[in-house]
Amino acid sequence: MPKMFLLFSHTLTQEQIKDAKKSLEIEEFVKLPQNLQELWSNIPPDIKDLNPYLEPIKEWLKEHLKNEDYALIQGDFGATCKMAKFVKEHSAKAVYATTQRNAKEKMVDGKIVKTSIFKHIMFREF
């Protein structure tokens, strides 16, 4: 059964875990090692070429990713695109989570405060 590798800066919700197990038949969720998670979560905005920066993550994935596996990829737009392409080139599936946003506004101390609540809908392939 496939694993889901998390190139993701948040914690999966119980709803996402349940959906991944049911719809994608995910058996195991694999987080990046701490040093690689720090790289992924802190991509500098002033780097012109992301390829050298992402190389340690690519090397780690080459060692662990199998054809039947998935990679949940969300984060910096350019890095996300590059890693989705990389995962697909290595015969695995790259996905992202879709959500429905419900915005609510309320008056607090004479100011309008807007709160957005995100609900997981599904995983979609890149």
Give the residue among 28, 39, 21, 36 at the shortest CA–CA distance from 3.
28
- Our count of domains for the chain comes to 1
Task: Let me know if residue 36 belongs to a domain.
Answer: yes
Task: Let me know if residue 30 belongs to a domain.
Answer: yes
Task: Let me know if residue 111 belongs to a domain.
Answer: no
Q: What are phi and psi of 106, to 5 degrees?
A: -145, 155
pLDDT score of 116:
84
Residue type, position 95, single letter: V
Task: Let me know if residue 55 belongs to a domain.
Answer: yes
Q: Which domain holds residue 48?
A: 3-97
Task: Let me know if residue 124 belongs to a domain.
Answer: no
pLDDT score of 85:
98
Task: Let me know if residue 102 belongs to a domain.
Answer: no
Task: Let me know if residue 20 belongs to a domain.
Answer: yes
Question: Encoding tokens for residue 72?
Answer: 């949940």
pLDDT, one tens digit per residue, over 12-53 is 999 999 999 999 999 999 999 999 999 999 999 999 999 999
Task: Let me know if residue 17 belongs to a domain.
Answer: yes
**Does the pLDDT value for residue 118 go beyond 90?**
no
pLDDT, one tens digit per residue, over 71-104 is 999 999 999 999 999 999 999 999 999 999 898 8
